[in-house]
Structure 1
Amino acid sequence: MGRDRRKSRSRSRRRSSDDEDLSPDARIELLEVENETLKAENRELRKKLVEALRRGGGSDRREPEEKADRRRRSAPEPREEEPEEEEAGGSDSNAVLLANAQMEAYNEPIPNNIPGEKRMPLVAGKMKRFMACFADKVQILDLKSGQAIIKDHNSFVKRYTCVFRESGSKLSGACTKRFYFDAKGPTYCLDYETHQSLVTAMPGTPPDGKLGVREPRTEHLIVLYEEKGGKITKMWLKQDADKLGADTYAGEDILAASEAFKQFEAKIKELKGGKTGEYIFHNYHDIPSVG
């Protein structure tokens, strides 16, 4: 191959000196001849190169494969991560934190005037965040009778899927006043709540609302939340017939003297083994607004 390149360079030098004596047409003919000669030489060089690659290619391909195989054999086996043990003492959550978190999810607006294929994924996402606050065996109970309004997890999901699907973007819930009962075991908070634009299934029908729903309405409720193991396990409900939660001027003394509070206080004593213990009271109407 080296001799071929030297021959080409010598021909090129001779051509540059001889071309000066040729006419333009003769030069063109000469260039065409040399072009064909170069093509033939290139084909010959290409053939030799291919043969050389074929002779040495097998070992070249095997070498990276062998190296890769050695790397695979020498690489340490991946270790499975051991799950971190939960700290003794359980969850740091309590009834107040969970009640706030579930209400925050409850208040995420979802329009009810958009197509179902767009609305239902929004409902599903909202339900996931909402349900993260509740235990698998959550129940909603009537305070007076003790009977289950919502008896199990399945009914709970159906009820609130209906609420979030049908109530629309105006659905809102607000805790206006709260008594918090702390303890080493289960924690409790008694919330006075106002729910607006609430839509639920018709009375006496399945909670999913497939047999019809009620008109949007405002509800004034008193709700006792029980927290165990970092989840809300039970909720006891009573209508706030006197609307003390919505009354800006009804403070701790007025609420504590009411018949409704005394009924909830008796339930808390029952749940805590005879004593309510100390509590913290908040009137959220007293929080000054900015502006």
Structure 2
Amino acid sequence: MALLEVENETLKAENRELRKKLVESLRRGGGGGGGGGDRRGREPEKAKERRREPSSAKDQEAIESDTNAVLLVNAQMEAYNESIPNNIPPEKRLPIVNDKMKRFMDGFSDTVQILDLKSGGAIIKDRSTFMKRYSCVFRESGSKLLGSCTKRFYYDASNRPTFCIDYETHASLVTAMPGTPPDGKLGVREARTEYLIVLYEEKGGKLTRMWLRPDTDKLGCDPTASEDIIAHSEAFKAFE
């Protein structure tokens, strides 16, 4: 297991480096690369439950994919952090929001879901709801929205889905009021900072599922929280 410290402003450079190493690995017959930050041999239990031999064209796509969870998560975070000015007319602002959404959604599967780690229940059940939620986030959060991955664990295996567990901070996040439609049309919450632990699953070259758990101890942004401390924390063990 290896811990990658990720600065948001280096995502593009990391993407380029990871893609180079991935291509080199594929040429050697490997199954992908994590830039030295992958964990082979063990996967989270939720990943193990879904491991099976390829039996369809869709499964074959996963084998032939030239990407992985890290590359896709980095790309969606780049799009997530594109600034949208607050002080421009709606007729100019909404097209910017829509363009940002297209770039953000590019790496997500048509069947993408967001699940609660503790209960296993769906927070976001399908792509349509997913898009409504993030349209609200991008439209209402505006120029100060900033997501960052501060710590990462990367799981890779040949010819199988890839995974990463990211410790994320989301500043100036605005979402719909609890219990209301995710598009925010019935009201939104005040801007806030959220600390999350997210398990991403990549399959067939797309992000298919995300499991969320609050980072209540804020280990992600704690510079003294080493890999060993995090790996032995209750929150991290819940993903195994």
Q: Which residue of 2 aligns with 1:251?
A: 226
Structure 2 residue 102 is matched with structure 1 residue 128: yes
1:167 is paired with a residue whose SS is: helix
Q: Which residue of 2 aligns with 1:31?
A: none
Q: Which has the higher contact order (CA 8 A, sep 6+)?
A: 2
Structure 2 residue 128 is matched with structure 1 residue 154: yes
Q: Which residue of 2 aligns with 1:200?
A: 175
CA distance in 1, matches of 2:62, 2:129: 33
Q: Which residue of 2 aligns with 1:276?
A: none
Structure 2 residue 163 is matched with structure 1 residue 188: yes
1:135 is paired with a residue whose SS is: strand
Q: Which residue of 2 aligns with 1:95?
A: 69
2:163 is paired with a residue whose SS is: strand
TM-score of the superposition, structure 1-length normalised? 0.61
User: 5+ unaligned residues in a row in structure 1: which ranges?
Assistant: 1-85, 266-291
Q: Which residue of 2 aligns with 1:170?
A: 144
Q: Which residue of 2 aligns with 1:219?
A: 194
Task: Report the identity percentage.
Answer: 76
Letter in 2 for 1:132: D
Higher helix proportion (structure 1 or 2): 1
Q: Which residue of 1 aligns with 2:184?
A: 209
Letter in 2 for 1:236: W
CA distance in 2, matches of 1:111, 1:213: 18
Letter in 2 for 1:222: I
The Cα shift of 1:113 comes to 3.0
TM-score of the superposition, structure 2-length normalised? 0.73
1:227-284 superposed Cα distances (whole Å, 9 cap, x missing partner): 000000000000000000010110100000100110011xxxxxxxxxxxxxxxxxxx
CA distance in 2, matches of 1:87, 1:173: 30
User: 5+ unaligned residues in a row in structure 2: which ranges?
Assistant: 1-59
1:126 is paired with a residue whose SS is: helix
The Cα shift of 1:89 comes to 3.8
Moved over 6 A (4+): none
Q: Which residue of 2 aligns with 1:119?
A: 93
CA distance in 2, matches of 1:88, 1:238: 27
Letter in 2 for 1:177: K
The Cα shift of 1:165 comes to 0.3
Contact 2:83 2:145 survives alignment (8 Å): yes
Match of 1:109 among 80, 83, 86: 83
Q: Which residue of 2 aligns with 1:230?
A: 205
